Amino acid sequence: MGNIIFTEGSILFVFLGVLMYFTKENKKNLATAYILFCIIFFLLASLNNFSIEGLFYENYQWMMIGTLPFMYLYNGKKGKGYKYLFYLFYPIHIVALYWIGNLFF
């Protein structure tokens, strides 16, 4: 059973959206706020069972810190419009990651 705090797209991520909205003009503040959010979310998620194995199999949400370079690269303008490319990319990369996960684990 999930709960309102740790389900995918939980109330914490609504807070993250508001935080990003108010820091969107200053990339340094955005990065600082995002990193602090990631740390706090990770600490909340790993209060009961912290382990190295858990970092990769259970509480892997800390990996969202990897999106920070892409946030820095965003210039606030609409891209070239590869809308349908991403409609294909998302399900294909999920299936590919599933296969890779089954190969190694």
What range defines the domain where residue 57 resides? 11-77
Question: In the prediction, which pLDDT does 12 show?
Answer: 79
Residue in the block written with tokens 């296969």: 99
Rounded CA-CA distance 87/90 in Å is 6
Residue in the block written with tokens 């259970």: 58
Per-residue pLDDT tens digits for 85-101: 888 998 999 999 999 98
In a domain, 58, yes or no: yes
Per-residue pLDDT tens digits for 18-64: 998 999 889 899 999 999 988 887 777 777 777 777 777 777 777 88
In a domain, 84, yes or no: no
In a domain, 15, yes or no: yes
For 77, the token pair is 């303008």
One-letter amino acid for residue 60 of the chain = Y
In a domain, 33, yes or no: yes
In a domain, 67, yes or no: yes
In a domain, 2, yes or no: no
